[in-house]
Structure 1
Amino acid sequence: MQNQPGFVSARPQIVLQLHTTHSPSFLGLHKNVGLWNVSNSGKGVIIGLLDTGINPKHPSFNDHGMPPPPAKWKGKCEFNYKACNNKLIGARNLVKRAKSPLDGDGHGTHTSSTAAGNFVDGANFLGNANGTAVGIAPRAHVAMYRVYGVDVISISVGVTAIPPYEEIMAIGAYRAIEKGIFVSCSAGNSGPSSATIENGSPWILTVGASSTDRKISAVAVLGNGAEYEGESAFQSANMSRKLLPLIDSGYCEALVSMDVRGKIVLCGIMGSLSVFKKGQEVKKAGGTAMILRNEKEQGHTTFVTVHVLPATHVSYIDGLKIRNYTESTSTPVATISFKGTRIGDKHAPVVAYLTSMRQ
């Protein structure tokens, strides 16, 4: 990792106490001590976001404990009902075909709540990952689309790397920097191959994601006693502990020619179908459950997907071991054990901070 361009530092992460109910704690941010306390949690700062809009009724934009907007704020709220408050202080629509700043995609609501969402108690994901959801600057004000008069611009969109003098995002960010507005952009969702970072101009703070030490655990249990932990948002309380026939179906795209009824189906993550649609195909063909395995390119990266049937997503190495098991016996069997939310990992995650910004 140290040899990669843009690397600054990394450190092993310790196991903490109890996306976003856990991220602040994982990063060492605590309400009454440390950096959060010293920074007043972003109090007085206005964060402007260029995104798909915002849902003002989302609980992350409640204004409990929020002061009024700073006197310098001159922005507008274009919602045709009383939706803005001391948290969401501005919303402008810059899309000609849209009628309001209301989020029709969900991305803008997601990114703005991650940046500055207020405290929301009792948040969970299908009963998992229970906790208090909060943004990184919970006392900062939010303005969607409108960037005039803000202190920080946060942008989670981008294009494949092109020269800065041809990239609109880079040019706009440079103009903002000239006016003293801090610009933070996402590094994109590509990788891990080289030259996949987006928004990499040297005047932008380019932020790359890492994993955390929390999983919504689903364990593949094989007939030979081996267990391989994966992830799944589908946490089935009705999944039998009885070992069921296990079949390797390749990429789960030609199940009409295979008898998968009542079986657990091993599926490769590659192919033309999305992860969600692979599960649909397995269920439609009569499969009981699915084990989704990575290819080498995905490595250890797994996703907490809302599958349509009991499933788990395992790493490339574990997927190889499961596949080898199916080939080593004439009657491979397996089941899936759902463990729910689990914090702490024997493989301590590493938090890497990637920045292209020059001080």
Structure 2
Amino acid sequence: MREINSIMSLSNLLVLFLQLLIVFFQFQTPAFALKQSYIVYMGVHSHGPEDAMTSVSKVKNSHHEFLASFLGSTERAKEAIFYSYTREINGFAATLDKAEAAAIARHPNVVSVFLNKGKHLHTTHSWDFMLLEKNGVVHRSSLWNKASYGEGIIIGNLDTGVWPESESFSDKGFGEVPSKWKGFCQNVNHTDVTCNRKLIGARYFNKAYASNGGKVNSTTSTSRDYDGHGSHTLSTAGGNFVPGANIFGVFNGTAKGGSPNARVAAYKVCWPPINQDGECYDGDILEAFEAAIKDGVDVLSVSLGGEPSNYLEDSTAIGSFHAVKNGVVVVCSAGNDGPKDGTVTNVAPWIITVGASTIDREFDTYVELHNGQRIKGTSISKALPGGRFYPLISGAQGKAANASAADAMLCKGGTLDPEKVKGKILACLRGENARVDKGMQAALAGAVGMILCNDKLTGNEIIADPHFLPASHLTYKDGLAVFEYINSTDDPMGFITPSTEHLNTKPAPFMAAFSSRGPNKVTPEILKPDITAPGVNIIAAFTGAKSPTENELDKRRTAFTTESGTSMSCPHVSGVVGLLKKLHPDWSPAAIKSAIMTTGKTRDNTVNPMLNGSFVKATPFSYGAGHIRPNRAMDPGLVYDLNVNDYLDFLCALGYNQSTIQLFSKEPFSCPSNASLLNFNYPSITISHLSGSVTVSRIVKNVGSPAVYAARIRQPHGISVSVEPNILKFERTGEEKSFQLTIRNRIDGAEGAPPGDYVFGELLWSDGLHYVRSPIVVSSNAAMTQSTELAVVENITSRT
């Protein structure tokens, strides 16, 4: 019994000990709390640019001291911080656990704390299509001629770096580097970039990438472009005239950028993807914005994006805000998640957001079927040898035993059986895996050619890719004809012709199906995208480090290639902005944006309304204010101007805390009592949840000669719009006039706007010479459709 009691006592003591141990650990900070990298954003610095250099060390120390108050020591703070933003942007990037981040976010001097997330990477004939030249001849009235081709302008590019050996970046004929340039070429090892008088800067930023598990080695510690995306976008914005540009000897022509005499600088912020998190991390993006502002760029081209989010938790929105404060115009891609509604990204009102559309050039590659059908497709590839018909099968018919028919139809890697595919033309369905990868997988399985068929979602949008094997990309309707033929006979046969260039195609432009669409999910009252520009089958510079198919088995190299995406349309606008900055150095970023938007066109070269990728009438949610017209933008007549305080008022109207907004401004600031989204002086007019009627105020500035402008309204369906006054008389350049629009659901017995749907109209001011057009977008105050819910949607922006 004594032994039993002894055992029981020991058991009770053990239970008590375990209970005490549990209580003890409940009150301890977890020793192994998950660490992640965060951005701590604190607004703008109080020091000016003139004393920034002397303040760098002081600012870093202040960041260390600030973080030490949360982590317990300066040593731990120094170890945690991997970027201090010390010049224009105030804040730092650091490795923290969730509890530490939450505590810091509550501090009154902190604007926001957000995870260091990854964003995704989102020419020859295009400038002819936009009338900067005509058949290679530059008219004296062209913006190119008027703006000296962008001479003296500096264009920066946040992307995958630069291939400096490209002729697009040769400095032959260039004089001394502009004295305003304060940047440099970051050379660390033999793989790095050597700059010249054209390519005047090249830097890389990878600490945020590394903090998320990215491997840092010789290829990720250089501004050299091993991807090709950055060289393509930078040369589109500011590349030289390069005669004889071709892709594997096909389509010989002259490549050129929008501002071919501008100087360019590469800021490498995008790296090989980590899982599916993205290629471009917030911390690196902010550091690059800091560097570009300090270096003295005039224009920043940013062809990347992520999920639409709160403006103060978005590195691109934050960085571009500080850039615009310093007079830098920031142009961003809209994203490649179309044609779904509400997918547009980079929606801050101080950014120029660009959608993608086509030009009037096609690379025709025909599919000939043994039943006599001849179907026009597109690609950049050679013809099938022998001039004879080949057996034709679908991906599903060529599937491997362990693969699904659906995956084989997509021609995914490992889904095709070489015994079934060898020697045949393979018909693959578009979707999921990359278009060029499908051709490579077909070739690996032994196919002699590929027919790439659109699905219903991608409709009529076909892309001229430099495929590894003879190929042709067909529309949805034509693809159905191919599959129908395959299924109608026991012995289907086909042939693929060589690619040929075809100009002056119609209709053009039309919107690319991949181009992300509105409405703006963050602020529905701001129409996004702002403008559209060429983004399909764009020829520009490429890297010498890999093939255009990106497959290691493809050993081909080309100095130029075609790419498609809003990544390609963005630098077209950046190049035009460079020209406008040269011609009008006194214009604000908002004035330049307004000039581009209000002179855009909404009709194609058949003089009919612009269409979408399914050849249905497009709306401003696809093209914004329209397709860019550079020559019109240099003389817009009137502009809708904005300054930094207007953007602060905008944040006030959104309900941001005044003390938080104060951190943006070096000067004393208080939110005005009448701050209103309706009266934000944007060049487009969007009313969400209209109930009854609203009155909208706008101010226009005359940037032309004295003139009298009259208003004309195209009413949205079911909506009445009136303007007061409807005549504006300007007696001098720089004079401003205000007007009001009253927008109401019709009450005169006519049919009103459909509940919950958006309807579209326009306001046009004209003096007979200038046509200043603003889109009007209205939705009624009924239950909104799924496409207009104010929730941030998942953005899986892909490179197309």
Which TM-score tier does this pair reach, normalised by the shorter chain?
0.7 to 0.9
Contact 1:217–1:231 under 8 Å retained in 2: yes
Contact 1:218–1:235 under 8 Å retained in 2: no
Contact 1:184–1:206 under 8 Å retained in 2: yes
* Residue 47 (1) aligns with residue 150 (2): no
Distance 1:100 1:260, change over 3 A: closer
CA-to-aligned-CA distance 1:267-326 (integer Å, 9 cap, x gap): 11235x443343334334433322111101111222222333221111111101111222
* Residue 198 (1) aligns with residue 368 (2): no
Contact 1:21–1:129 under 8 Å retained in 2: no
State the partner residue of 1:24: 127
Match of residue 225, structure 2, among 85, 103, 107: 103
Q: Distance in 2 between matches of 1:240 and 1:73?
A: 57
CA-to-aligned-CA distance 1:87-108 (integer Å, 9 cap, x gap): 1112223224443322232222
Q: Distance in 2 between matches of 1:62 and 1:89?
A: 11
Q: Distance in 2 between matches of 1:82 and 1:194?
A: 41
Contact 1:239–1:336 under 8 Å retained in 2: no
Tell me the SS of whatever aligns to 1:171: helix
State the partner residue of 1:129: 251
Per the TM alignment, residue 116 of structure 1 is displaced from its structure 2 partner at its CA by 0.3
Please report the TM-score for the alignment, with normalisation by the length of structure 1: 0.86
State the partner residue of 2:84: none
Contact 2:378–2:499 under 8 Å retained in 1: no
1:74-113 counterparts in 2 under 5 A? Answer: 74-79=182-187, 83-96=194-207, 97=216, 98-113=220-235
CA-to-aligned-CA distance 1:238-259 (integer Å, 9 cap, x gap): 5333223322233135432973
Corresponding letter in the other structure for 2:222 = S
Per the TM alignment, residue 136 of structure 1 is displaced from its structure 2 partner at its CA by 0.4
Contact 2:367–2:377 under 8 Å retained in 1: yes
Per the TM alignment, residue 339 of structure 1 is displaced from its structure 2 partner at its CA by 3.6
Deviates more, 1:165-174 or 1:348-357: 348-357
Per the TM alignment, residue 355 of structure 1 is displaced from its structure 2 partner at its CA by 5.2
State the partner residue of 2:282: none
CA-to-aligned-CA distance 1:17-71 (integer Å, 9 cap, x gap): xxx1211112111235311111211111111222222222211111233332322
Aligned length: 338
Contact 1:293–1:315 under 8 Å retained in 2: yes
Tell me the SS of whatever aligns to 1:259: helix
Structure index of larger Rg: 2
State the partner residue of 1:235: 382
Contact 1:161–1:195 under 8 Å retained in 2: no
Per the TM alignment, residue 141 of structure 1 is displaced from its structure 2 partner at its CA by 1.1
Corresponding letter in the other structure for 2:363 = I
State the partner residue of 2:482: 322
Q: Distance in 2 between matches of 1:269 and 1:324?
A: 17
Deviates more, 1:181-190 or 1:82-91: 82-91
Tell me the SS of whatever aligns to 1:206: strand
- Runs of 5+ unmatched residues, structure 2: 1-122, 208-215, 268-290, 397-408, 512-530, 533-622, 626-641, 643-681, 684-800
Sequence identity (%): 42
- Runs of 5+ unmatched residues, structure 1: 1-19
Contact 2:193–2:223 under 8 Å retained in 1: no
Contact 1:218–1:338 under 8 Å retained in 2: yes
Corresponding letter in the other structure for 1:85 = N
Pairwise CA RMSD of aligned residues?
Answer: 2.4
Contact 2:361–2:503 under 8 Å retained in 1: yes
Per the TM alignment, residue 177 of structure 1 is displaced from its structure 2 partner at its CA by 0.9
Q: Distance in 2 between matches of 1:257 and 1:74?
A: 57
Distance 1:157 1:82, change over 3 A: closer
Q: Distance in 2 between matches of 1:280 and 1:184?
A: 34
State the partner residue of 1:150: 297
* Residue 217 (1) aligns with residue 325 (2): no
Contact 2:331–2:353 under 8 Å retained in 1: yes
State the partner residue of 1:141: 263
State the partner residue of 2:455: 295
Q: Distance in 1 between matches of 2:230 and 2:445?
A: 37
Higher relative contact order (CA 8 A, sep 6+): 1
Q: Distance in 2 between matches of 1:233 and 1:39?
A: 34
Corresponding letter in the other structure for 1:58 = S
Q: Distance in 2 between matches of 1:141 and 1:280?
A: 37
Corresponding letter in the other structure for 1:249 = G
1:221-300 counterparts in 2 under 5 A? Answer: 221-236=368-383, 238-250=384-396, 251=409, 252=411, 254-256=415-417, 259-270=420-431, 273-300=433-460
Tell me the SS of whatever aligns to 1:114: helix
